[in-house]
Structure 1
Amino acid sequence: MFMLLLIFAVIHSGGAALRSRAEARIGARAWRLVFAALSIPSAVVVIGYFLAHRYDGIRLWNLQGLPGMVPLIWVVTAISFLFLYPATYNLLEIPAVLKPQVRLYATGIIRISRHPQAVGQILWCLSHALWIGSSFMLVTCAGLIGHHLFAVWHGDRRLKQRFGDAFDKLKDETSVVPFAAVIEGRQQIIWTELLRPAQLGIAIAVGVFWWAHRYIPIGGMAFLHSRLGELLN
């Protein structure tokens, strides 16, 4: 599992590193399609392997029968989705219907954390490690969190190279740790910026998953959404 995650990380983060040079050669739309053609199949392989083996290894704990555990897992997972899908992405750029662009986002959930996907992935790992409790799940979480921590550094580095002083200003006004910049007085939450149609879509999706949880493996679907959330960046 760790090796599969490492391969996906190389494809995904490596593709991000090559983006500027690739777009200069073949164009932004063509590169997005190439990137998706490589990333999506590798993500599908990881997801399939995870679904088949998530309870493998040593069962370190089993908290599934504790009162309130199911609502707790769903609440933390729902919050993780709000970070994984921060409603700052133009969905039509994913299939290259619109020309993909790199932007600096400074509003909405970015005021809470400059890297919401990393926060969302950590929350997802926390909730599902509690739910599954296997050594396989801990290895999965280690790989996912490790990749996202690298992506925090890698993403900041790429934005600094592209935007220079504008990114420095954004970095000074935001934080990676949720709410840290707000507590330190460098940022102010504008709650109306969080009320976007995409967030309503997330809430509806969480409701559908709650209704269908007896038919859908909870860990597998949450993992699927965490992987797809990365592909939106």
Structure 2
Amino acid sequence: MASLIAAATFFVLLHLLVSGTRVRDAIAAKIGDGPYMGLFSLASVAGLAWLGFGYAAARNAPWNASYWDITPATRHVQLGLMLIAVIFIVVGLTTPNPTSVKQEGALDRPDVVKGMLRITRHPFLWGVALWAAGHLIVNGDRAGIVLFGAMLALALFGTASIDAKRKRALGPKWHAFATQTSNIPFAAILSGRQSLKIGEIGWWRIAVALVIYAALAFGHPYLFGVAALP
């Protein structure tokens, strides 16, 4: 358990206390953006691997008590959240977005705010948040709470961290983009700053997400040793 907690702490703090702060700016100013991104990527991969191995070792340990169990209702809720999560993640990864790494230039496009960005400017992270929340619902054991709780916290606080980083780096360009969009999904639409246009998202993106969702749902017992479907 100690290794899992240490891995979760390292992975979360690496992103929240380094990536999105002035610490990142200071390091990049000294060694350059390229070397910084290389070192940060290596640290992230190492942290993610540590987290995975720590969870694998902890999930079957005798002390890994469970505080709640999966039920038919929570299983169906989780499956619904996973569908939305996969759509957000796939669309987020395939949509030009100035909040993504090395995509700040998207702000120069007059039509940058379209599709999923009308819903949220952080679709990938909100997808991760939904994925983590859904898994927390059906994984009430201590190891699961640490793993999925850490990923949920990282995704939610990560949106604010990226916003702060982009604001420092891009100034007025970022302000114009931020005022047209929202961090919280659908907030810009509900406030009247945007309108929902599903067609702009790209039906091919939604189709890819559905295929990935089906593959994960049916392949879950082979990939992770636990059935996702009833």
The answer to whether the Cα contact below 8 Å between 1:19 and 1:31 also exists between their aligned partners in 2 is: no
Aligned match of 1:6:
9
The answer to whether the Cα contact below 8 Å between 1:113 and 1:179 also exists between their aligned partners in 2 is: yes
Cα separation, 1, equivalents of 2:30 and 2:198: 38
Q: Name structure 1 gaps, 5 residues minimum.
A: 95-99, 222-233
* Deviation for aligned residue 1:38: 1.8
2:8 counterpart SS class: helix
Against the structure 1 CA distance between its residues 215 and 101, is the aligned structure 2 distance closer, same or farther, given a 3 Å change threshold? same
Q: Name structure 2 gaps, 5 residues minimum.
A: none
Cα separation, 1, equivalents of 2:172 and 2:125: 24
Aligned match of 1:134 in 131, 141, 161? Answer: 141
Cα separation, 2, equivalents of 1:25 and 1:212: 43
* Deviation for aligned residue 1:217: 1.6
Q: How is 1:46-85 mapped onto 2 (pairs within 5 angstroms)? A: 46-54=51-59, 57-64=64-71, 66=72, 70-85=75-90
Q: Deviations over 1:150-190 (max 9, x none)?
A: 32221111111122122112222222221111011011122
* Deviation for aligned residue 1:46: 0.6
**TM-score normalized by the length of structure 2:** 0.75
Cα separation, 1, equivalents of 2:27 and 2:148: 32
Against the structure 1 CA distance between its residues 198 and 48, is the aligned structure 2 distance closer, same or farther, given a 3 Å change threshold? farther
Aligned match of 2:124:
117
Cα separation, 2, equivalents of 1:9 and 1:135: 18
* Deviation for aligned residue 1:124: 1.3
Specify the code of the residue in structure 1 equivalent to 2:135. Answer: H
Against the structure 1 CA distance between its residues 196 and 89, is the aligned structure 2 distance closer, same or farther, given a 3 Å change threshold? farther
Aligned match of 1:102:
104
Against the structure 1 CA distance between its residues 202 and 128, is the aligned structure 2 distance closer, same or farther, given a 3 Å change threshold? same
Cα separation, 2, equivalents of 1:178 and 1:212: 29
CA RMSD of aligned residues (A): 3.1
**TM-score normalized by the length of structure 1:** 0.74
1:216 counterpart SS class: helix
1:181 aligned onto 2:188: yes
Number of matched pairs: 210
* Deviation for aligned residue 1:128: 0.9
Cα separation, 1, equivalents of 2:183 and 2:190: 13
